[in-house]
Amino acid sequence: MIHFRGRDFLNSKRTVFLISGPPGAGKSTLADKICKSMDGLCVHIEGDVLYNLVKKGWVHPCDDHDNFFLNVLWDNIVALVENFTQNNMNVVTDYVFSKEQIFSVIDRMKHLDINIKIIVIKSDINILINRDRLRSGIAYVGEERIRQIVKDFNSNYFPEEFMLDNNDADLEGLVDVVLKEDRFTVN
């Protein structure tokens, strides 16, 4: 879903937040809270919702070995970011981006006059597994995949300045950190 909030301030540079982390880390929850805390219009692009628009031929992202659906997802995210920022809206996007994927998306947006922030949420693996157990349907990932995704994230070596710990932390405090600290800014 795409969520709008706030008023438009035409003279300020738009900010795009790219939030990543393993399933259950709190990406969508944090993204929603950031949107509601922003000045001006703000859009929440939920990567899972975009990915799951495919109804016939859908495969789990972990099984998209040729990256066909993931490449379509990146195209759609970049197109939406461009459209929304050109219409003076801030954008918060959340998805399980790898380091390579997130920097590829940023590279494709470098022509835009925007601020970009990367936030990579990390949580204890047992917390992630417990949160996943509360999910149902396609949102449920399973312990084995959670462990593999966390292993992949740990081997990605995201720069430490982009990391944000969420072991049941105070969400309002995390939102303040993301909005106020420059360490997440990449341009």
More confident residue, 67 or 18: 18
**Mean pLDDT calculated for residue range 10-20:** 86
Strands 163-165 and 42-46: unpaired
Average pLDDT over the chain, rounded to an integer:
88
- Range scoring the smallest mean pLDDT among 6-20, 62-76, 109-123, 141-155: 6-20
Number of domains in the chain: 1
pLDDT of residue 26 exceeding 50, the answer is: yes
What pLDDT, on the 0 to 100 scale, is given for residue 83? Answer: 98
- Label residue 8 by pLDDT band (50, 70, 90): very low
Q: 176 in the Ramachandran plot: left (φ > 0), alpha (ψ -120 to 50) or beta?
A: alpha
Calpha distance 22→97 (Å, rounded): 9
Which range of residues forms the domain containing residue 11? 2-184
Phi, psi for residue 184 in degrees, rounded to 5? -85, -10
What pLDDT sits at residue 176? 94
Return all residues near 114 (Cβ < 8 A) that are at least 6 apart: 13, 14, 15, 16, 81, 85, 187
Q: Read off the pLDDT of residues 135-179 as tens digits, 9 standing for 90 and up.
A: 877 777 888 888 888 887 776 688 899 999 888 768 789 999 999
pLDDT of residue 102: 92
Q: What is the mean pLDDT of residues 110-132?
A: 91
**What CA–CA distance (Å, rounded) separates 18 from 13?**
16
CA distance 25 to 112: 29
Q: Which CATH number does the domain housing residue 159 bear? A: 3.40.50.300
- Closest by CA to 128, choosing from 162, 94, 96, is 96
pLDDT at residue 144, rounded to an integer: 87
